[in-house]
Chain A
Amino acid sequence: MTTLLLIEQVLNGLQAGIMLFLMAAGLTLIFGVMGLINLAHGSLYMIGAFAAAGVAGATGSFVLALMASLGAAAAAGAIVEVTVIRRLYDRDHLDQVLATFALILIFSEGTRWLFGSFPLYLDVPAAFAGPVTLPGGIQYPAYRLLIIVVGLAVAAGLFLLIARTKIGIQIRAGESDREMIGALGVDISRLYTIVFALGAALAGLAGALVGAIQSVQVGMGEPVLILAFVVIVIGGIGSIKGALVGALLVGLTDTLGGVLLPLAFGLFLDPSTATSIGSALASMAIYILMAVVLIYRPTGLYGATT
């Protein structure tokens, strides 16, 4: 394997990690602040993608489509929080899992009812359609670079929001002591709705960005949701920094594992055996990574050490 190919694969890993981060950031915020396991986070991702595909189909504008995805997912998140999720904060995690699993089914069938059973069309904007040539002669899809840039911008925005703003202070306070900030006069139910809508909007944005290069279809959120949970367990629940580092680790491990493991086994096995063992091991790689992290840091890389 040439160095150029390796660099390209590292870029691919980073980009996969950034996409995961957009999903995981909302999930970890919601889990960290409200202690809620939200399985329906993948549905919000799907709603973002469908809203974007619908608006892009009607107007032809990708910018409007992205705004629609943010709006639709945030609105869906806020509505769900007020009607369903709010009743779950005091219940145990099993009840939360059951209720949010029901939400997945409702959202999936609702979307199918609205948009039909066939995958929707959503394409990358024309300006980012082709590849660009990076220094060193690597050809890389422009749209994937755009995803990396947007993801890093969102990460920076989130850090500023959490570290520098009043709402960020409230979120951090809410993570460490829920009762106390309620006693200090912060309207906790409003704060929860805002955090939930923010997390939902991030998932919706991820769905729209990723939907342009993947398949916009019912059930598209669930495979990503599993990876996002792996990310927040590795990164430490509630930590945005952990979500970023965890997402990049998972993205790189998944991408490079899939490429390098079959090659590594190919050094001492015949090609077809090497491919099958390598591919099988590659699909386990991120879970092995998670297990190793949990052995040494049971609360995740940046989790609170309680």
Chain B
Amino acid sequence: MRIKNMVAMAACLAALGTTAVAGGHGGKVKVGMITTLSGGGAGLGIDVRDGFLLATRGNDMIETVIEDDQRKPDIAVGLADKLIQSEKVDVLTGIIWSNLAMAVVPAATAQGKFYLSPNAGPSALAGRGCNPKYFNVSWQNDAFSEAAGAYLSNEGVGKVFLMAPNYPAGQDMMAGFKRFFKGEVTEEVYTQLGQTDYAAEIAQIRASDADQVYFFLPGGMGISFMKQYAGSGVDKPVAGPAFSFDQGILGAIGEAALGVKNTAHWSKDLDVPGNAEFVAAFQAEYGRLPSLYAAQGYDTGLLLNSAAAKADVKDAEAFRAALKEADFQSVRGDFAFADNQHPIQTIYMREVVKEGDIVTNKVIGVAAIEHTDVYGADCKM
């Protein structure tokens, strides 16, 4: 008798539970954002978060739960499990670093969750590891460097000195550059990840007969290198992907960065519909200029708004189709998804300039039109 009662009660509770879940969601999308909000790389995660919230603010279809991964893969994996199992989110987003994305994305998509990447595009997820539930709203890792290689070739640069940290994204970035650069690579130097002193490399640059330096040193590494390079008296022109010259970093480099060319899919002065409004709204809300990470977070939010308005996230096929349309006005201008659900977008060349007291970027030309990655050919879906 008692056992019978308990079984009946459990059945009732289970029934209640399912109705509650179904009733609570009715077309709403619950988003779990895992991003880096503390420690050394926190500036990037904060920008992505703020951009995303700026876009989804006021949309009551979207509810966002935000978690801090501390830039640690194990913590990111734990947070993803928590968000999927106890928070029951429908969509995950937010991860900044490729190694964290590789730890979280395959597992999340395997559990049937959508993942929208607002930063980081490891090649493994663009090619053979592509997934119908994974959308990259930022870039494939090689993109900026491929565009830079093409641009510098067109500018007639003949000999280039390459430098990147010795880890997969660094090697990818240099491979991307070489893929489109037609001139000669005189030296290719790999530094330690997290290296802070570049005296030895700068001496090599001085001795080299290259006439251009191209480097990828994200975050603090780029700040250190640029300050030391400016003090060294070496005057070879410098270029790189935008990661070392984003708004959050330029303030710390100061005038040492003036004149540096860098490739990006976005710039605050880009003349496309909606961009000026985004820059103004971001400044009004947070009191600082948006970085390209903020723009990516904002676009991710807009993409989600557009998909949520068209389809119920519970109908995965319809929701996927709605995402794939990319029916939103990106602050980067024209934006579409290729077959591997990575962006087709124009990449610009920017130059670091001084506007009043602020060191910032200005678009000086187009580096690659409707650029897409080379890995899509391996994507079977």
Interface residues of A in 91-136 (CB under 8 A from B): 108-109, 112, 117-121, 123-124, 129-131
Q: Judging by beta carbons under 8 Å apart, are A217 and B252 in contact?
A: yes
Q: How far is the CB of A109 from chain B (nearest CB, A)?
A: 6
Q: How far is the CB of B204 from chain A (nearest CB, A)?
A: 7
Distance, CA A142 to CA B123, complexed state (A): 43
B197 in contact (CB, < 8 A): yes
Distance, CA A259 to CA B254, complexed state (A): 29
Partner of A141, one of B39, B190, B233, B253: B233
Distance, CA A15 to CA B228, complexed state (A): 13
Distance, CA A88 to CA B267, complexed state (A): 52
A255 in contact (CB, < 8 A): yes
Our count of residue pairs bridging A and B at CB distance below 8 angstroms stands at 131
A165 in contact (CB, < 8 A): no
Distance, CA A153 to CA B372, complexed state (A): 56
Stretch at the interface among B40-48, B88-96, B325-333, B341-349: B40-48
Residue interface mask B240-257, A partner, CB < 8 A = 1: 000000001101111010
Q: Judging by beta carbons under 8 Å apart, are A130 and B203 in contact?
A: no
B308 in contact (CB, < 8 A): no
Q: How far is the CB of A278 from chain B (nearest CB, A)?
A: 9
Q: Judging by beta carbons under 8 Å apart, are B251 and A9 in contact?
A: no
B20 in contact (CB, < 8 A): no
Q: Name the B residues within 8 Å of A143 (CB-CB).
A: 231
Interface residues of B in 166-217 (CB under 8 A from A): 166, 188-192, 194, 196-197, 199-201, 203-204, 206-207
Distance, CA A120 to CA B254, complexed state (A): 10
Q: Judging by beta carbons under 8 Å apart, are B224 and A279 in contact?
A: no
A82 in contact (CB, < 8 A): no
- Given A144-B199, A276-B190: A123 and B254 within 8 A (CB)? yes
Give the number of chain B interface residues (Cβ < 8 Å).
39
B59 in contact (CB, < 8 A): no
Interface residues of A in 1-26 (CB under 8 A from B): 1-2, 5, 8-9, 12-13, 15-16, 19
- Given A143-B231, A279-B190, A283-B192: A219 and B40 within 8 A (CB)? yes
Q: How far is the CB of A207 from chain B (nearest CB, A)?
A: 11
> What residue in chain B is nearest A217 (Cβ atoms)?
B220
Distance, CA A280 to CA B170, complexed state (A): 14
Q: Judging by beta carbons under 8 Å apart, are A213 and B224 in contact?
A: yes
Q: Name the B residues within 8 Å of A224 (CB-CB).
A: 196
Q: Judging by beta carbons under 8 Å apart, are A283 and B199 in contact?
A: no
Q: Judging by beta carbons under 8 Å apart, are B42 and A112 in contact?
A: yes
Q: How far is the CB of B282 from chain A (nearest CB, A)?
A: 15
Q: Judging by beta carbons under 8 Å apart, are A259 and B200 in contact?
A: yes
- Given A117-B42, A214-B224, A255-B200: A272 and B188 within 8 A (CB)? yes
Q: Judging by beta carbons under 8 Å apart, are B231 and A129 in contact?
A: yes
Q: How far is the CB of B178 from chain A (nearest CB, A)?
A: 10
Q: How far is the CB of A21 from chain B (nearest CB, A)?
A: 14
Q: Name the A residues within 8 Å of B253 (CB-CB).
A: 121
- Given A119-B223, A218-B42: A255 and B166 within 8 A (CB)? no
Q: Judging by beta carbons under 8 Å apart, are B166 and A117 in contact?
A: no
Q: Judging by beta carbons under 8 Å apart, are A9 and B203 in contact?
A: yes
Q: Name the A residues within 8 Å of B206 (CB-CB).
A: 5, 8, 139
A185 in contact (CB, < 8 A): no
- Given A108-B39, A119-B43, A143-B231: A220 and B207 within 8 A (CB)? no
Q: How far is the CB of B164 from chain A (nearest CB, A)?
A: 10
- Given A5-B203, A12-B200, A124-B231: A112 and B190 within 8 A (CB)? no
B232 in contact (CB, < 8 A): yes
A193 in contact (CB, < 8 A): no
Question: Ordered nearest first, which 6 A-B pairs have the shortest CB separation?
Answer: A215-B220, A131-B233, A119-B252, A215-B223, A219-B40, A12-B199
**Which residues on A are within 8 Å of B, measured CB to CB?**
1-2, 5, 8-9, 12-13, 15-16, 19, 108-109, 112, 117-121, 123-124, 129-131, 139, 141-144, 210, 212-220, 223-224, 255, 258-259, 262, 271-272, 275-276, 279-280, 282-283
Question: What are some 9 contacts across the A-B interface (CB < 8 A)?
Answer: A119-B223, A119-B248, A214-B220, A215-B224, A220-B40, A255-B199, A262-B189, A276-B166, A279-B166
Given contacts A139-B232, A215-B221, 12 further A-B contacts (CB under 8 A): A119-B252, A123-B227, A124-B227, A213-B224, A214-B224, A215-B196, A216-B252, A258-B201, A259-B203, A276-B166, A279-B190, A283-B192
